[in-house]
Amino acid sequence: MSDEAIPEAGWVSPELREELSGLALRYLVIERGSGRSPRHVKERLAQMSNRFSGPQAINLRHQPIPWAYRVFYRHIGLDPDEQRTPVEAIALERMRRGGFVSQNRLDDALTIAIIESGVALRAFDADRAEGRLGIRETEAGEGLEGRPGELPARTLVIADEVRPLALLFGPIGAGRGVSPRTKRTILAAIQVKGVPDIAVEEAIWLAAHVLRS
Amino acid sequence: MPTELIPIEATDHPAEPAEVLDNAFAGAGVLTERRVRQDLRRQIASLEKRLGELFASAFPRKQIEWNVAAVGGPRVLDTADLERVRDGLAVRLREAQAELGRRGEIEEANRGLLESMIVAPERHRWLRISAEDVGEPPCHHWHSRPRWGLLGMLMGWWRVKLSSGCPLAEGPRPPEQEA
Helix (H) or strand (E) holding B145: strand B141-146
Tens digit of pLDDT for each residue in B136-156? 888 889 999 999 888 888 888
pLDDT of A61 over the 50 cut? yes
What's the confidence (pLDDT) of residue B176?
Answer: 56
Cβ of residue B55 closer than 8 Å to a chain A Cβ: yes
Domain boundaries defined on chain A: 23-128+178-212
Mean pLDDT, residues B114-129: 92
Q: How many residues does chain B have?
A: 179
Say how far apart CA A115 and CA A42 lie, in whole Å. 15
Shortest alpha-carbon distance between residue B76 and chain A (Å): 5
Residue B105 lies in a domain: yes
Its ipTM equals 0.91
Residue B142 lies in a domain: yes
Say how far apart CA B159 and CA B144 lie, in whole Å. 6
Say if the Cβ atoms of B174 and A81 lie within 8 Å: no
Domain count, chain B: 1
Say if the Cβ atoms of A156 and B74 lie within 8 Å: yes
Sign of CA dihedral A164, A167, A168, A172: negative
Alpha helices by DSSP H, A52-177: 54-58, 64-75, 86-97, 105-117
Interface size between A and B, measured as CB pairs under 8 A: 108
B30 or A98: which carries more pLDDT confidence? A98
Say if the Cβ atoms of B77 and A39 lie within 8 Å: no
pLDDT of A43 over the 70 cut? yes
- Long-range residue pairs from A50-59, CB within 8 A, at least 24 positions apart, any chain: A50/B174, A52/A91, A52/A94, A52/A100, A52/A115, A54/A95, A56/A91, A57/A91, A57/A92, A57/A94, A57/A95, A58/B55, A58/B56, A58/B59, A59/B56
- Highest-scoring range by mean pLDDT, A106-110, B24-28, B114-118: A106-110
Binning pLDDT at 50, 70 and 90, where does residue B177 land? low
pLDDT of A26 over the 60 cut? yes
Q: Which residue of A has its CA nearest to B173?
A: A98
For B47, the domain range is 22-66+77-162
Helix (H) or strand (E) holding B82: helix B79-119
pTM, to two decimals: 0.83
Residues of A in Cβ contact (< 8 Å) with B68: 74, 79, 81
Residues of B in Cβ contact (< 8 Å) with A71: 41, 44-45, 48-49
Binning pLDDT at 50, 70 and 90, where does residue B2 land? very low
Residue B140 lies in a domain: yes
In degrees and rounded to multiples of 5, residue A125 shows phi and psi of -80, 115
pLDDT, mean over chain A? 94
Residue B95 lies in a domain: yes
What is residue A196's DSSP assignment? -
Residue B12 lies in a domain: no
pLDDT of A28 over the 80 cut? yes
Cβ of residue B5 closer than 8 Å to a chain A Cβ: no
Cβ of residue B44 closer than 8 Å to a chain A Cβ: yes
Residue B10 lies in a domain: no
Cβ of residue B80 closer than 8 Å to a chain A Cβ: no
What's the confidence (pLDDT) of residue A8?
Answer: 95
Residue B135 lies in a domain: yes
